[in-house]
């Protein structure tokens, strides 16, 4: 088990533990955080960072327990610290007339070519692609079905896919 300091706004506020169980890495974070929020817990490593999720609050104590596959945690490298962050101002969605231009990987370029009404926005060091959702149309990027989320943008439903800087799909 790895144990590291969890910081928020430059102060030590708790602890983040990472435990390997089979092909999963389980993160458990606990901290005394100021009122406000929601506080997002991040794992910071030698190679990158991973958003673990939104911490639950009970009084001033906040906690989160979440498991991730080795594929997702491998890009973080050796765990250095945990960070509790308040969400930054959310970037606005912009129209994306040529969604294939967002990708370098050919298989992704082919899958999104010809999709209309898409939107994109930066998400950390990666980006999100929102594709209009129509129950009567084929599902876009069907191979990534389990990693997307439904979201209303404006007044229309979209399927949102999130990718890191290497165009690897992330859980949205």
Residue (of 50, 120, 53) closest to 87 by Cα position: 53
Global pTM value: 0.53
* Spatial distance between the Cα atoms of 95 and 46, rounded to a whole number of angstroms: 35
pLDDT one-digit tens code per residue, 59-101: 879 999 999 998 888 888 899 999 999 877 567 889 999 999 9
Average pLDDT over residues 131-139: 94
pLDDT band at 125 (very low <50, low <70, confident <90, very high): confident
Residues 6+ apart with CB under 8 A from 2: 17, 18, 19, 79
List residues bridging with 81 in a β-sheet: 44
- What is the reported pLDDT for 89? 58
Instruction: Give burial (CB, 10 Å; 0-12/13-18/19+) of 79.
Output: buried
Average pLDDT, the chain: 91
- What is the reported pLDDT for 90? 62
Q: Which helix (H) or strand (E) holds 76?
A: none
DSSP string spanning 38-60? PPEEEEEESS-EEEEEEPEEETT
Q: Domains in the chain, please, with CATH?
A: 2-85 (2.60.40), 94-170 (no CATH)
């Amino acid at each position: 088990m790895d144990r590291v300091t969890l910081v928020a706004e430059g102060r030590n506020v708790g602890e983040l533990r990472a435990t390997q169980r089979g092909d999963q890495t389980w993160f458990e974070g606990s901290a005394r955080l100021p009122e406000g929020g929601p506080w997002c817990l991040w794992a910071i490593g030698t190679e990158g960072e991973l958003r673990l999720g939104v911490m639950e609050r009970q009084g001033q104590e906040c906690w989160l327990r979440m498991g991730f596959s080795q594929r997702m945690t491998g890009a973080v490298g050796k765990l250095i610290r945990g960070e509790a962050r308040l969400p930054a101002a959310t970037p606005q969605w912009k129209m994306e007339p040529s969604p294939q231009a967002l990708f370098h990987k050919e298989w992704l370029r082919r899958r999104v070519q010809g999709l209309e009404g898409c939107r994109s926005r930066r998400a950390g060091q990666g980006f999100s692609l929102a594709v209009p959702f129509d129950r009567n149309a084929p599902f876009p990027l069907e191979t990534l079905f389990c990693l997307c989320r439904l979201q209303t943008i404006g007044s229309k439903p979209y399927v949102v896919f999130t990718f890191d800087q290497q165009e690897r799909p992330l859980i949205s």
